[in-house]
Amino acid sequence: MKKLNHILVLLTCLLMLAAVALRRDGRFLGKDLAPAASQTDGTASESDFLTRLEDGTEVIDTTGPGREINGFSGPTPLLIHVRDGKVALLEALPNQDTPEFFSATLEEGFREQWYGKVVVEAVQTPVKPVTGATYSSTAFIQNVQAGLAAYLKASGESEAIGDIAPPQIPWRPSLKFVCGMLVALAAAVAPFFLRNKWWRMLQLSLNVAVLGCWCGVFVSHALMVKFLSQGMQDWSAVLPLLLLAMAFIYPFFGRKSHYCMQVCPFGSLQELAGKCSRKKLRISPQWLKRLEGFRQGLWAMLMLVMWCGTGFAWMDNEPFAAFLFRTAPPVALALAAVFTALSVFVPRPYCRFVCPTGSLLKFAEEE
């Protein structure tokens, strides 16, 4: 009976998060459940995406050609300006992607890699994604390819480069991915056999250095909603899926809070900071109960706000995002700094008294 109740709770969590994904993006596992009328069929006429200005500049709107392309948090359409047969300007349309991640595409030299190139050359230009904003910059690259490919087809010039395949950025397992997988697998298995304090120190350090600072991978509301909205885009998603399995599946077999205590990079950072001082603040049982109630109430309020169709930005400001320090929102950086400092005197304060993701995982463990 307990197992059945646990399954029902897990399904409830899935439905709650799916509702957020649908409310924000109108998508589920990469499928557009509320497509715009202009996007319902698989083709688009020239007038749907191409505009000619008075000075002869042709402007390509990738909203249609790139409608299946998503950044970190949603579609990222562009306007591509073609002047005298060459790419002259790339500008972003309003989008649902995380602003801090998408802003990485504004870095000097990124967009300029296409400028001045004839369309046939530009559509084949190899451009590497921006480190720290891989999803957003990859989506930008794919939108450029999709828009230019549609332009060539509409102009009858696609034969110049042969058949144009759907824009894809090839994925190969990098050293970062391999190291991240090894650290995650160690966190998944080693605690069953190793209870040595030195091993724990090593694991905590690796969680922070490799999973957090290097890979930028952690369980958060933003990650879960992204997966439910967009599905698994490529094999690089295997690492975050492994973390999600530890967060939601391990408790089903009696390993409650395994992710929070053994894997979470920010939880690991707080525990390491706590070892800097033996003096701890004493919190009365009454206040502990109130703070625990605050955490649960905060999570419930945030979920309710999102179901109402607003307030989605808070997901990008959880302090986990501070590990993506190049693109992290200032709020996330500030929260990470405050709670890391506080954890010197209070064990894991963010985990215990604030963390909305921890509240969701705790709810998912109920039987």
The phi and psi torsions of 16 (rounded to 5 degrees) equal -65, -45
User: If pLDDT is split at 50, 70 and 90, which confidence band does 248 have?
Assistant: very high
Report the pLDDT value the prediction gives residue 102, as an integer from 0 to 100: 64
Residue 143 makes CB contacts below 8 A (sequence gap 6+) with 62, 65, 66, 69, 76, 77, 78, 167
Top-confidence residue, 30 or 333: 333
Beta bridge partners of 83: 86
pTM above 0.75, yes or no: no
Tell me: pLDDT of 173 over 50.
yes
Q: Is the model more confident about 41 or about 133?
A: 133
Q: Whose CA is closest to 134, among 239, 51, 245?
A: 239
* Residue range 223-236: mean pLDDT, rounded: 78
pLDDT > 70 in the chain, percent: 82
The domain made up of 35-161 has a fold known as Sufe protein. Chain: A (3.90.1010)
Task: Report residue 248 as tokens.
Answer: 């939601």
CA torsion, ordered 313, 319, 320, 324, to nearest 10 deg:
80
Quote the tokens at residue 254: 């009696």
Q: Which of 31-45, 226-240, 254-268 comes out lowest in average pLDDT?
A: 31-45
CA 291 to each of CA 70, 81, 344, 352, 353: distance values in angstroms, whole numbers, following the listed order: 38, 54, 18, 8, 5
pLDDT bracket for residue 46 (50, 70, 90): very low
The residues, ordered by sequence, that sit 6+ positions from 237 with a Cβ below 8 Å of its Cβ are 227
Edge-to-edge strand order for the sheet containing 86-92? 50-52, 58-61, 78-83, 86-92
With a cut of 90, say whether residue 318 has pLDDT above it.
yes
Tens digits of per-residue pLDDT, 76-119? 788 889 888 888 888 887 766 655 556 666 666 788 888 888 88
pLDDT single digits (tens) 332-366: 999 999 999 999 999 999 999 999 999 999 988 87
The mean of the pLDDT values for the chain is: 82
Whose structure tokens read 């957003």? 136
Beta-strand runs (E) in 18-85: 27-28, 31-32, 50-52, 58-61, 78-83
Q: Where do the domains of the chain lie? A: 35-161, 175-364
